[in-house]
Amino acid sequence: MESNGRKHETGLVKLKCSVQNYDWGRIGYDSRVARLFERNCGCQIDEKKHYAEFWMGTHVSGPSFIQGIDDLSLKSWIQQNPKVLGDVVVDKWGHDLPFLLKVLSVGRSLSIQAHPDKELAGFLHKLQPNVYKDANHKPEMALALTEFEALCGFISSEELDVVLETVPEIKEAVSNASADQNLTVDKHNGEVKEEGVLRSIFTQLMSVDREVISKALSQLINRLNRESETRQLTSKEQLVLKLEKQYPNDVGVLAALLLNHVKLEPGDGLYIAANEPHAYLIGECIECMAASDNVVRAGLTPKYIDVKTLCSMLTYKQGLPEVLKGTPINQYVRRYTPPFEEFEVDRCVLDQGASVVFPGLPGPSVFVIISGEGTMQTSSSEDRVSEGATLFAPAGAEVRVSTDSELQLYRAGVNSKVLLNSLT
Ligand SMILES: [Zn+2]
């Protein structure tokens, strides 16, 4: 054990990871999560089960374990060998990994949700510890592995005007009187006015009775079905029809009209700051986040919706989100850096016969092989790796990756801007 610990302070450590079988996940071998999981731990896949998320990290709800050492979690191992995190990380976040890396296989839409900032998370956790399980914020970033669709942030004021004009069912549901009233109250200040309208419509929509929502939805769906015979529906309208089939009578179907519908190509990324509404709709992605599982839901879900918390926490920022393309680090690696301290993600696509070096950083990294096979080397370890392999790299480890096939891997680490700033 002692020598094991010493070796691992510089070498790579293979991880055995967990999955989540949420019912929005893809089913059986259709799910990349299931295929990665099978290869990662040699577990049998249940072909009828949903495989939604593959988790790589130390979060209690889906911990990773050290391969080859029975029942030793990555969390306990880090606590026994805190040096593997590097001083900067230990000083800032203590003896734990500050980020959680995931692969998601989305078969049908996830709930519309937002994640609290640190202050609100602490408050919610104190108030309802069984709903809000930790006191941390959860900024997140998704990188598309396939074509990937999401709802993210509120639409612009211009688009909101169009929605209110062309979707009378929304106005009806929130009652014309109060929506118009807000328009006049806030008229003297352009920006405040629009945000006021959006906030008021969203809050009222989320708060009206279920019957009102049911009625508005059935009117909307009937109308769209009728109109689809004489005109091409917009992509947002098609989305509404699709979501209503997945979540009949759900307020989220109407709320979706107020959010941006974003379509990502493989390699595109999206980050989601605290208190921004979003929902992943379909596709597969890499996701990285601060180590937390705090979610406040807004619809497209049979689960608990905390309307009051949700409506008061949102920023009501409007307009399209930024789509990240990554910054090239070298010929094979692009880095995606969100405006959060806890993490960054590298996407590496190696040609057959190529090799690349990930220089040592003063913080820990987690690598996952998405496809192909090859070798990963440090000064004190060498591992054959293939699809599903997940490895922890301690602070300071320089990692050389070479491949005889084509290889795609991702590396998550603490935001290197934070790591490097702390050094100067
Ligand atoms: Zn989220």
Task: Supply 262's token pair.
Answer: 């974003």
- Residues 46, 140: one domain? yes
Cα 293 to ligand 1 centre (Å): 9
pLDDT grade for 188, boundaries at 50, 70 and 90: very low
Pairing relationship of beta strands 65-66 and 140-144 according to DSSP bridges: unpaired
Q: To the nearest whole number, what is the mean pLDDT of the chain?
A: 90
Cα 140 to ligand 1 centre (Å): 7
pLDDT for 9 beyond 70: no
Cα 378 to ligand 1 centre (Å): 34
Count up the domains in the chain and report the number.
3
Task: Name beta bridge partners: 348.
Answer: 333, 409
Which CATH number belongs to the domain containing residue 358 in this structure?
A: 2.60.120.10
Least confident of 16-25, 169-178, 235-244, 309-318: 169-178
Rounded mean pLDDT of 124-139? 88
In a domain, residue 22? The reply is: yes
pLDDT for 185 beyond 50: no
pLDDT for 8 beyond 60: no
pLDDT grade for 423, boundaries at 50, 70 and 90: low
Cα 81 to ligand 1 centre (Å): 31
Q: Check residue 221 and give its pLDDT.
A: 97
- Residues 160, 278: one domain? no
Q: Which of 297, 335, 347, 411 is the catalytic position?
A: 297
269-282 per-position pLDDT tens digit: 999 999 999 999 99
108 is catalytic: no
pLDDT for 301 beyond 90: no
355-376 per-position pLDDT tens digit: 999 999 999 999 999 999 999 9
The C-alpha R_g of the chain, in whole angstroms, comes to 23
pLDDT for 3 beyond 60: no
- Residues 59, 124: one domain? yes
pLDDT for 184 beyond 60: no
pLDDT grade for 261, boundaries at 50, 70 and 90: very high
- Residues 273, 246: one domain? no
Cα 364 to ligand 1 centre (Å): 24
- Residues 54, 191: one domain? no
- Residues 222, 354: one domain? no
Q: Check residue 134 and give its pLDDT.
A: 84
Cα 415 to ligand 1 centre (Å): 19
Rounded CA separation 237/151 (Å): 14
The CA–CA distances, whole Å, from 280 to 16, 151, 337, 341 equal 26, 6, 20, 23
More confident residue, 185 or 54: 54
Rounded CA separation 382/401 (Å): 10
Q: In the chain, what percentage of residues exceed pLDDT 90?
A: 75
Rounded mean pLDDT of 256-269? 97
Of the candidates 258, 275, 293, which is a domain's last residue? 258
Tell me the HSE value of 221 on the side-chain side, using a 13 A CA sphere: 18
25-43 per-position pLDDT tens digit: 999 999 999 999 999 999 8
Cα 2 to ligand 1 centre (Å): 40
Residue ranges for the binding site? 113, 115, 140, 278
- H/E/C letters for each residue in the chain? CHHHHHHHCCCCEEEECEEECCCCEEEHHHCHHHHHHHHHHCCCCCCCCEECEEEECCCCCCCCEECCCCCCEHHHHHHHCHHHHCHHHHHHHCCCCCEEEEEEEECCCCCEEECCCHHHHHHHHHHCCCCCCCCCCCCEEEEECCCEEEEEEECCHHHHHHHHHHCHHHHHHHCHHHHHHHHHHCCCCHHHHHHHHHHHHHHHHHHCCHHHHHHHHHHHHHHHHHHCCCCCCCHHHHHHHHHHHHCCCCHHHHHHHHEEEEEECCCCEEEECCCCCEEEEEEEEEEEEECCCCCEEEECCCCCCCHHHHHHHCCCCECCCCEECCEECCCCEEEECCCCCCCEEEEEEECCCCEEEECCCCCCEEEEEEECEEEEEECCEEEEEECCCEEEECCCCCEEEEECCCEEEEEEECCHHHHHHCCC
Q: Check residue 5 and give its pLDDT.
A: 46
Rounded CA separation 342/363 (Å): 11
Q: Which domain holds residue 221?
A: 153-258
- Residues 345, 293: one domain? no
- Residues 131, 165: one domain? no
Rounded mean pLDDT of 189-211? 78
In a domain, residue 216? The reply is: yes
Q: Check residue 1 and give its pLDDT.
A: 39
In a domain, residue 24? The reply is: yes
The dihedrals phi and psi of 249, each to the nearest 5 degrees, come to 60, 20
Q: Check residue 176 and give its pLDDT.
A: 45
- H/E/C letters for each residue in 281-331? EEEEEEEEEECCCCCEEEECCCCCCCHHHHHHHCCCCECCCCEECCEECCC
pTM score, two decimals?
0.91
Residue ranges for the binding site for Zn(2+)? 113, 115, 140, 278
48-101 per-position pLDDT tens digit: 999 999 999 999 889 999 998 878 999 999 999 999 999 999 999 999 999 999
Rounded mean pLDDT of 265-292? 95
In a domain, residue 10? The reply is: no
Rounded mean pLDDT of 349-359? 96
The dihedrals phi and psi of 41, each to the nearest 5 degrees, come to -125, 0
Of the candidates 223, 258, 293, which is a domain's last residue? 258
Cα 384 to ligand 1 centre (Å): 34
Q: In the chain, what percentage of residues exceed pLDDT 70?
A: 92
